[in-house]
Chains A and B, each alone.
Chain A
Amino acid sequence: MTKPILKVEDLEVTYRTERADVRALNGVSLDVASGEVRGVVGESGCGKSTLAFAVMRYLDRNGEITGGRILFNGEDLREKSDSEMDEIWGKHLGMIYQDPTASLNPSLPVGEQIAEVATAHGLASHDEATQKAVDLLDRVHIRDPEEIIDRYPHELSGGMRQRVGIAAGLMGKPELVVMDEPTTNLDVTTEAKILDIVEELKNELNSAFLYITHDLGVIARVGDGVEVMYAGQVVEQASIDELFKEQYHPYTKLLLRSIPDPEGEEDTLQEVPGSMVDLTDLPEGCNFSTRCPFRSEECSVTEPYLEGKRDSHNSRCFKAPIEEAEETAGEAEKTNGGSIWDTPPELQRERPILSVERLKKHFGGNGSWLPGSETSPVRAVDGVNLSLQQGQTVGVVGESGCGKTTLARTIIGLSRATEGKIDFAGEDITVPISGRSGQTLKRIQIVFQDPRSTLNPKRTVGQAIARPLALHGDFRREKIPEMTARLLRSVGLDSSLANRFPDQLSGGQKQRVAAARAFATNPALVLHDEPTSSLDVSVQATILNLLLDLQEDSGTSYLFISHDLSVVRHISDYIAVMYLGHIVEYGMTTEVFSPPYHPYTEALLSAIPVPDPNLSRKRIRLTGSVPSAVDPPSGCVFHTRCPRKVGEICETKSPPVCGEGEHEIRCHIPEENLAEVEPILS
């Protein structure tokens, strides 16, 4: 092993807040060597971003390094003055941020921003630096870099901006690059391309990378070593291969099992019990002891050290490695406390509960009354057919901008359909909310994406759940408190939470309340618009398990919108893959995940980050970005990016439906040829 370029020793960071001092990092030690990508993973609040910013000396004003050393090339960065840091930043130490929109200056062409890194350090003249910026953009696979350098950040797509961010971070040829969730805001196909670039750069540049992420799948792709963090401490450190082979720390083990497996079918996801500890109120002994299913008495008395059980594989746990036999304690049980309704609904299967025919939703496009002001509309949803049987789940998956959210909003009535028909239990509901009957409103509900805005901050949990009961319930008013308590229990919450306000709940608890609110009216159909995408994986697991349990009890149908194929695979009976307002593939979950594939589905599947470092998959990378929905490509909408384009026919004729039975693929390639490919995931 080469000498580490970065050596963090016993690092302590404290944030001073009005309430108390919060120790965000508590004795973190790690090494990063040249040519290595060292991943730092953990749930939100574990201190991983604080670590990144502390190493960069970019902490907020109320944050302070209160102990330890940050040795970079043998020198302690803590002792550097700001002007000395100016010399180091950019030239020796580069950073790549989560949100390139915020880190790039909106009023400077991107080429200038990249070149600036070199010119500011006097490393190159303006012309040389510009030439270097072009080379770097070429290296991060931006086409026509000479033209791109004159563009402004807002003229680039999110993936392009992130590549520009990477180029700027690498401009000074830094020995260490800190990457803070660089792909978290990107679509999976774009993420896959960025990860390819990181992998290439690692091999070419011989720089060291500190890679912060919440996604174990991403680290499995690009990492060499990994630090798992919990409550401001490293709880396990290992090489990638060792970690994914065997997890010594129970937290790592549970975390890994809470991820829905894109390759397989599991009945229930492992849940990590409880939620992240309060850093101002840490338990005695091991920080994880309050949530650990394997804890013994020792754990809540003495604090474990990070120690090696085998050479380079360390864990902060007395019991590591955990014997398989002890694991019964970790089995997830049914999370909800009994069903809400006394009699389960009878399932009728003769006809679908929801059927959508040739649905179109176009935004704008009329222009005003002035002549010549007609503009083309945005074709968000452009001819979608879908049907949903009672008690079943259809997953709608696709990248941002594919129209999946608009589809849900049009079905629920928040947007008015431009064309087509929506039929719900025999009633035509192709009208916005104001035109729908009370019965329909009651029977269709929605669970939104953002736990922060899904509940009214000024109303209690009890009020939030009681309101739909009062509005739609056909029972006496005195029964409302009892029903509210029952609903809370059915989503696995204690009824004493009823008089709490939303800001006193965790993200996962808020999504549970949102589910209870949706189920209060005993709906026949619940739309889920990315309900878990802003939650940690461990919390996501509990919510997915809850939704499946609720469905089992109530026979409710789900339309589940998500960008995450693994999540959709876990929860859905049928999957619809959307691209640019069209459903390009539809079928049973197992059918969609095995050949024949639509070329787009194939590309999506090959891009999912899988938490398995040994998995070698065919890499299909889409070129370019999603075309504008104002002027979608003619013929097959996917032809501009399709790696398997047949020829002219793709550009001129819209593709026919092929496939067997319920499995439908819209593609010009004959089904036999589509079926010939190897399965991407086993």
Chain B
Amino acid sequence: MGEKSLNLAPSVWDRIKSGFSYLAKLRRKPLGFAGLIIIVFWILVSIFAPYITPYSPTQFSGDKFASPSLNHPFGTDRWGRDVFTRITAGSRTAFTLALSATLLGLVGGTALGLSAAYFGGWIEEVLGRLMDILMSFPALLIAMFVLGVLGPGTINVIIVIGIAHIPRIGRVARSATLQVKNQEFVEAARVRGESDFYIMGAEILPNILDTLGVEGAIRFAYSIFLSASLGFLGLGVQPPTPDWGLMISESRSYLQIAPWLAIFPALAIASMVLGANFLAEGLEEVTGGER
């Protein structure tokens, strides 16, 4: 082997391979694998949403309150819009909201939790108490309050749900960091004079990613649920955007005559929440991350 070509780091291809090896291991965990299949199914649906049905999610496509049929498998709503189309299109809304909010929570929570655990002392105390205060209010209550002030809207919903996630993710990040920070390789880095930023980012962070991944999946499920709740309350995405929570809310008055208006969005929400939770469980077993 030529010394000039000595590889110091695993190649991108190696990293991708090790990522897929996790997924391959998931196949032996029935619950986790089921979760993976459900989530992959919804990802495919959301990507190909415009090509699955001939209708538009916001245009009238037939009779009002048509019951499920071959043309309209999930029926139509009070404006005659195709419910099946609105469900597939709604998966895009759900993913956009939940993924962005989870990501926001992960970034914020990890930054706070990791640095609190790493620096310790009064920084940890202050951050810890702040998180406790934030966590002592139900997330939905905070969200309703903030959205009441800021007004509803996609961006505001993302920010509010993301912030609601921060304390819990922060807590997980902190406890994971505490397990790593006194290990000898971290001390070796301190001894050779690495900056705090480098130690947190390059030495500690890679070792808590598994745990954060598991937590992320759980928070994703919760985001779906929370955004649907906000949609239902009219504080989330505004009509006519297809949103599952909103669809259930709109169906309330017609439960007697058109129950499919509530049943199908509810099933969609339930399947995605369950799928993400199963996936979290599987990831936990496979990666050794903790929840």
Contact = CB atoms under 8 A, between A and B. Distances in A.
Contact of B6 (A436, A449, A450, A462): A462
Contact of B184 (A448, A481, A486): A448
B8 A466 contact: yes
Interface string B171-186: 0000000000001110
Contacts of A464: 185
Interface stretch (B114-122, B141-149, B187-195, B218-226): B187-195
A476 interface: no
B7 A521 contact: no
A456 B193 contact: no
A394 B33 CA distance: 57
Given A445-B191, A462-B9, A471-B192, A482 B183 contact: no
Interface string B1-44: 10111111110001000000000000000000000000000000
Contact of A495 (B1, B191, B206, B209): B1
Contact of B187 (A414, A455, A472): A414
B191 A413 contact: yes
B207 A482 contact: no
A456 B203 contact: yes
Given A456-B185, A495-B1, A462 B193 contact: no
A486 B207 CA distance: 28
Contact of B191 (A414, A455, A478): A414
Interface in A447-496: 448-450, 453-460, 462-464, 466-468, 471-472, 478, 480-482, 484-486, 495-496
B8 A441 contact: no
A629 interface: no
B8 A480 contact: yes
A366 to B, nearest CB: 14
A459 B15 CA distance: 12
A466 B6 CA distance: 11
A203 interface: no
A463 to B, nearest CB: 6
A501 to B, nearest CB: 8
Contacts of B192: 441-442, 445, 467-468, 471-472, 521
Contacts of B188: 446, 448, 454, 514, 517
A586 to B, nearest CB: 26
Contacts of B207: 456-458
Contacts of B7: 460, 462, 498-499
Contacts of A472: 192-193
Contacts of B209: 458
Given A458-B207, A481-B3, A499 B191 contact: no
Main secondary structure of the interface of A (DSSP, over half): helix
A433 B6 contact: no
A488 to B, nearest CB: 9
A499 B183 contact: no
Nearest to A478: B4
Nearest to A457: B207
A472 B191 CA distance: 12
Nearest to B186: A456
Contacts of A496: 1
Given A462-B6, A496-B1, A453 B184 contact: yes
Given A412-B191, A482-B4, A455 B185 contact: yes
A345 interface: no
Contacts of B4: 478, 481-482
A624 interface: no
B4 to A, nearest CB: 6
B206 A463 contact: no
Contacts of A462: 6-9
B6 A484 contact: yes
A438 B193 CA distance: 7
Nearest to A440: B193
B185 A485 contact: no
A619 B188 CA distance: 41
Interface residues of A, number: 44
A433 B188 CA distance: 11
A457 B188 CA distance: 14
Nearest to B183: A453
A153 B192 CA distance: 41
A486 B4 CA distance: 11
A550 B14 CA distance: 34
Contacts of A466: 8
A675 B119 CA distance: 52
Nearest to B5: A481
Nearest to A450: B184
Contacts of B190: 414, 433
A462 to B, nearest CB: 4
Given A414-B190, A471-B192, A472-B192, A498 B6 contact: yes
A433 B206 contact: no
A453 to B, nearest CB: 4
B10 A499 contact: yes
A184 B212 CA distance: 37
B221 to A, nearest CB: 27
Nearest to A447: B188
Contacts of A438: 193
B49 to A, nearest CB: 37
A526 to B, nearest CB: 11
B199 to A, nearest CB: 10
Contact of A484 (B8, B202, B206): B8
A482 B188 CA distance: 23
Contacts of A517: 188
Nearest to A521: B192
Interface in A43-70: none
A456 B206 contact: yes
A471 B199 CA distance: 13
Contacts of B184: 448-450, 453-454
Given A413-B191, A471-B194, A495-B1, A481 B10 contact: no
Interface string A426-449: 000000010010100110111011
Contacts of A441: 191-193
A528 to B, nearest CB: 13
Nearest to A454: B184
B6 A454 contact: no
B185 A433 contact: no
B22 to A, nearest CB: 14
Given A438-B193, A458-B206, A472-B192, A482 B9 contact: no
A517 B187 CA distance: 13
A464 B3 CA distance: 17
Contact of A460 (B8, B185, B187): B8
B3 A433 contact: no
A458 B183 CA distance: 13
B19 to A, nearest CB: 13
Nearest to A18: B28
B44 to A, nearest CB: 31
A295 to B, nearest CB: 29
A38 to B, nearest CB: 38
A103 B193 CA distance: 42
A453 B3 CA distance: 28
A516 to B, nearest CB: 12
B180 to A, nearest CB: 9
A495 B187 contact: no
Interface of B: 1, 3-10, 14, 183-185, 187-188, 190-194, 202-203, 206-207, 209
7 contacts: A433-B190, A456-B206, A467-B192, A498-B8, A499-B8, A499-B10, A521-B192
Q: Which 7 residue pairs spanning A and B have beta carbons closest together?
A: A462-B8, A458-B206, A441-B193, A448-B184, A481-B6, A453-B183, A456-B185
Given A445-B191, A462-B8, A496-B1, 9 more contacts: A414-B187, A453-B184, A454-B188, A457-B207, A458-B206, A460-B8, A460-B10, A484-B8, A498-B8
